[in-house]
Each structure stands twice: as structure tokens, then as C-alpha cells.
């Protein structure tokens, strides 16, 4: 695939397949794996990621929006689709044709799902979220005096076909996850008894990539894996490969004398004569403006600092130390280049914002090119 766009997002399909193998190897084959493709597979593209998941036997997909579920079905996926957030009533009704299992986010939200099911004239398959981990976002809190009445009402609602009981962790910290998983296991068991689980139990799940790869006790019946598929987890698994690059090229190079100021607001100043390269990527393309003066571009084997305050569609890197740099050279702004790489942690440290917020935007705003790099040429994130 080729693009004439001056900036593009490159997805390494081989890295995603490899990462899935690594995760499978860690969690084993008896734990169900829900492949998370929300935000268009974290920007990697549902059409790229879904076939990799299904080829490996993944039968459960996690989404957030109806559009994502629609795309998953359009691609022919016959398995289970779980929504990983609480949905609005209209959304639930509209999504029902896609056979989405809904995330019941508390006792009152259960009423919303019941109302949607009544309008549809059929029960909806749901997962009940508990606040056992203390995320306090969309789970029922066990200490709420209304919790038991809510549970009994949910149990008595024929509109709700309960499939699972779930929770979600607030922190990527092993002790925090361990404690949350234990609390969840106990509360989910107690909830099952009130809800009258068929065969005594529902599917219990709380683990994300970090939890599943760090605390085996958090895995339970199913793990919900997003970040690790894309090689962007803080779990200490060195074999995972980053699967995305943000790439552009040098459009022009100019020498400027010592003392010149660079870019808007004269925010940067060079105190020696310098060769500056302009890259046709700016904040409107999703590159965070907070990386102005802090980010890096990566040519073959070299880091060149982003020195200016970023324009809408261009930025300036200093290539004084890279005499070989020339117009047309590829510049990587995120991901790997040869044996070097710019990681999520680098972006996060420099910008003060979460890297996923940036790379999901790059993928929405720029063309996507899919490649398949042999694993032997890939550099682990570790
Ligand atoms: C995004 C999400 C996941 C996947 O988390 P990762 O850290 O990307 O693996 C799992 N569960 C819920 C509820 C989510 O929103």
C-alpha cells in the first residue's frame, strides 16, 4: 500500500499477530480472551486487527461504539461482541441488531437496559459491573444500601439475560490489582448467589492487559486484552512489539545562523548555526503541540529534537548533528526506526498526556498503511 500523504500511520500486522501469540502464551488456552478493538482498534484499524484475532481463534470482541460493532459484524464476525462501557438507551436499542452484550453500569443503569429491552420486545444479554476495584465509574458499589435491592430486582427482570459479572481496575500497579481482583472474586460470588446464576455461576472478568500479564489471579474466566495486542502496555513482558509508527519525510532543509529564533512566538532560539529540517506534520494532524520543543524525530539511527512550537501542519527538527540528512528522508515521530525507537513512555514524558490519546488521533486524521515486518527485524519494547 502506498500513500502520497506527507504523513501516515504505519501498522505492523505481523507485530499484532506476534503480540497475540505472546499474550496467549502467558494466559494459557483455558482462559477466554476478549480482543479489545475500541477506538478503531486503538487506531490500528478494525479491518487489520479483527482477521488476526479470528485467525487465532478469538471468539469474543470488546468494543465501545455501535459503529465498531457494525464494522466487526460487516467483516463477518459471528462471535460475541461485548460493549466495554455503559451505553445510552438509544444506543442500546440501535445496537441490539448487532447482538451486543451490554455493560450494566449500576442499579439505575439496569433500569435503562430493561427499558431498552422492553422496547425491543426481547431480553438483552448483559454483564453486571461491580465497583469491587474502586474505580467508582460504572459499577455497583457493594456497600451501597441499595445494592441488594438492586440485585434482587435485576434477578427478577426477565429482560436481562445475565452472562457475566465484571469489574475494571483503576491502576496499573500489581498490589492494587491483586487486592481488587480478590475483592471482585468475593463480591462476584456473592452477587451470583443473589442473582441465581444458572449452573451456579456467571462469567467473571476484570483483567485488562496489565492485570492479565502481571497478576495471574486476576484472569478468572476471561481477560479483556487491548493494549498488549498493540505492544503498548506497562506490563513487564519484553517480547511485545510496538505495532504502530507515525511517519513523515523531510520536506526541506535550510541553514540558519546562530542567534536565529525558530517558529511561532520566537519560542525557540538557536545559539549556534544550525541545519533545520521542516517536517509536514503539525498539531492539526494530531501531533500534540505540547511536544513542541520536547519531541523527537528519528532518522536512521539518530534522534533529532523537535525544536519549534509546532504549526498547524508543520514542525521543525534540528538536523545539525545529522550531516547525512536530506530532503525526502523518512522521519519517524513515534515507533521504531531500525534499532532505535520512540515509545509511548517517551511521548508521555515529553507531552504530559497519555500516548493513546495521541496515536488514536493520528490514526483518525492520517492515512493508514499496513505492513508486515518479520519479527526478527522487530525491536522489543522492553
Ligand atoms: C479498554 C478496556 C480494556 C482493555 O484494556 P487494555 O489495558 O488496553 O488491555 C478492558 N476493559 C475495559 C472495560 C476497557 O475499557
Among 204, 230, 264, 334, the one annotated catalytic: 264
Burial of 92 (0-12, 13-18, 19+ CB in 10 A): buried
Could you tell me what percent of the chain has a pLDDT over 90?
84
Tell whether ligand 1 has an atom less than 6 A from the beta carbon of residue 205.
no
Tell whether ligand 1 has an atom less than 6 A from the beta carbon of residue 209.
yes
Name the residue with the closest Cα to ligand 1, atom 1: 226
- Is 264 known to be catalytic? yes
Q: What is the pLDDT of residues 274-287, one digit of tens each?
A: 999 999 999 999 99
Determine the distance separating the centroid of ligand 1 and the alpha carbon of 35, expressed in angstroms. Answer: 9
Q: Which atom of ligand 1 is nearest to the CA of 64?
A: 15
Please report the pLDDT score of residue 28 as a whole number: 95
Tell whether ligand 1 has an atom less than 6 A from the beta carbon of residue 166.
no
Name the residue with the closest Cα to ligand 1, atom 14: 84
What is the 8-class DSSP label of residue 37?
Answer: -
Q: Which atom of ligand 1 is nearest to the CA of 42?
A: 8
- Lowest mean pLDDT, pick from 41-50, 210-219, 312-321, 336-345: 336-345
**Average pLDDT of the chain to the nearest whole number:** 93
pTM, two decimals, is 0.93
Tell me the average pLDDT across 147-176.
Answer: 96
Residue 379 near residue 373 (C-beta atoms within 8 A): no
Please report the pLDDT score of residue 382 as a whole number: 33
Tell me the average pLDDT across 231-250.
Answer: 93
Tell me the average pLDDT across 352-379.
Answer: 84
Please report the pLDDT score of residue 381 as a whole number: 38
Q: What is the pLDDT of residues 95-123, one digit of tens each?
A: 999 999 999 999 999 999 999 999 999 99
Determine the distance separating the centroid of ligand 1 and the alpha carbon of 38, expressed in angstroms. Answer: 9
Please report the pLDDT score of residue 37 as a whole number: 98
Question: How many residues does the structure list for the chain?
Answer: 382
Confidence of residue 214 (pLDDT cuts 50, 70, 90): very high
pLDDT exceeds 50 at position 250: yes
Tell whether ligand 1 has an atom less than 6 A from the beta carbon of residue 208.
yes
Tell me the average pLDDT across 223-247.
Answer: 94
Determine the distance separating the centroid of ligand 1 and the alpha carbon of 224, expressed in angstroms. Answer: 6
Q: Which atom of ligand 1 is nearest to the CA of 228?
A: 9
Tell me which of 22, 27, 60, 208 to substitute to probe ligand 1's pocket, judged by most ligand atoms within 8 Å of the beta carbon. Answer: 208
Name the residue with the closest Cα to ligand 1, atom 15: 84
Please report the pLDDT score of residue 374 as a whole number: 60
Tell whether ligand 1 has an atom less than 6 A from the beta carbon of residue 224.
yes
d(CA 135, CA 170): 5
Confidence of residue 376 (pLDDT cuts 50, 70, 90): low
Q: What is the pLDDT of residues 4-14, one digit of tens each?
A: 899 999 999 99
Cβ contacts of 36 within 8 Å, gap of 6 or more = 42, 61, 62, 63, 84, 224, 225, 226, 229
Tell whether ligand 1 has an atom less than 6 A from the beta carbon of residue 150.
no
**Residue of higher predicted confidence among 219 and 376:** 219
Tell me the average pLDDT across 242-266.
Answer: 95
pLDDT exceeds 70 at position 159: yes
Tell whether ligand 1 has an atom less than 6 A from the beta carbon of residue 225.
yes
d(CA 205, CA 163): 11
- Is 204 known to be catalytic? no
d(CA 250, CA 244): 20
* DSSP letters for 224-272: EESGGGGT---SS-TT----EEEEEE--EEEEE-TT-EESGGG-EE-SS
Tell whether ligand 1 has an atom less than 6 A from the beta carbon of residue 32.
no
pLDDT exceeds 50 at position 379: no
Amino acid at each position: 500500500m502506498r500513500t502520497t500523504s506527507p504523513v501516515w500511520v504505519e501498522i505492523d500486522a505481523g507485530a499484532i499477530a506476534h503480540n497475540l501469540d505472546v499474550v496467549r502464551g502467558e494466559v494459557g488456552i483455558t482462559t477466554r480472551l476478549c480482543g479489545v478493538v475500541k477506538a478503531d482498534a486503538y487506531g490500528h484499524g478494525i479491518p487489520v486487527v479483527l482477521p488476526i484475532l479470528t485467525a487465532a481463534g478469538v471468539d469474543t470482541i470488546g468494543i465501545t461504539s455501535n459503529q465498531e460493532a457494525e464494522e466487526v459484524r460487516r467483516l463477518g464476525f459471528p462471535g460475541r461482541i461485548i460493549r466495554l462501557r455503559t451505553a445510552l438507551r438509544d444506543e442500546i436499542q440501535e445496537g441490539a441488531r448487532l447482538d451486543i452484550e451490554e455493560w450494566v453500569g449500576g442499579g439505575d443503569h439496569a433500569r435503562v437496559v430493561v427499558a431498552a429491552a422492553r422496547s425491543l420486545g426481547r431480553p438483552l444479554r448483559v454483564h453486571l459491573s461491580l465497583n469491587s476495584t474502586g474505580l467508582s465509574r460504572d459499577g455497583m458499589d457493594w456497600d451501597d444500601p441499595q445494592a441488594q435491592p438492586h440485585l434482587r430486582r435485576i434477578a427478577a427482570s426477565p429482560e436481562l439475560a445475565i452472562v457475566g459479572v465484571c469489574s475494571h481496575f483503576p491502576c496499573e500497579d500489581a498490589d492494587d490489582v491483586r487486592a481488587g481482583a480478590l475483592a471482585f472474586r468475593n463480591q462476584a460470588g456473592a452477587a451470583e448467589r443473589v442473582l441465581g446464576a444458572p449452573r451456579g455461576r456467571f462469567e467473571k472478568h476484570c483483567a485488562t492487559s496489565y492485570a492479565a500479564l502481571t497478576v495471574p489471579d486476576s484472569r478468572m474466566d476471561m481477560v479483556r486484552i487491548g493494549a498488549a495486542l498493540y505492544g503498548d502496555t506497562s506490563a513487564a513482558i519484553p517480547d511485545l512489539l510496538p505495532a504502530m509508527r507515525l511517519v513523515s519525510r523531510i520536506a526541506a532543509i535550510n541553514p540558519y545562523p546562530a542567534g536565529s529564533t525558530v517558529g511561532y512566538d520566537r519560542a525557540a532560539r538557536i545559539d549556534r548555526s544550525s541545519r533545520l529540517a521542516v517536517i509536514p506534520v503539525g498539531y492539526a494532524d494530531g501531533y500534540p503541540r505540547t511536544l513542541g520543543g520536547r519531541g523527537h524525530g528519528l532518522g536512521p539511527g539518530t534522534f533529532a529534537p523537535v525544536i519549534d512550537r509546532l504549526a498547524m501542519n508543520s514542525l521543525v527538527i534540528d538536523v545539525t548533528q545529522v550531516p547525512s540528512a536530506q530532503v525526502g528522508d523518512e522521519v519517524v515521530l513515534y515507533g521504531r526506526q531500525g534499532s532505535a525507537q520512540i515509545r509511548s513512555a517517551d511521548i508521555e514524558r515529553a507531552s504530559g498526556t497519555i500516548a493513546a490519546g495521541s496515536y488514536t488521533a493520528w490514526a483518525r486524521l492520517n492515512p493508514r498503511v499496513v505492513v508486515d515486518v518479520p519479527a526478527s527485524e522487530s525491536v522489543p519494547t522492553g
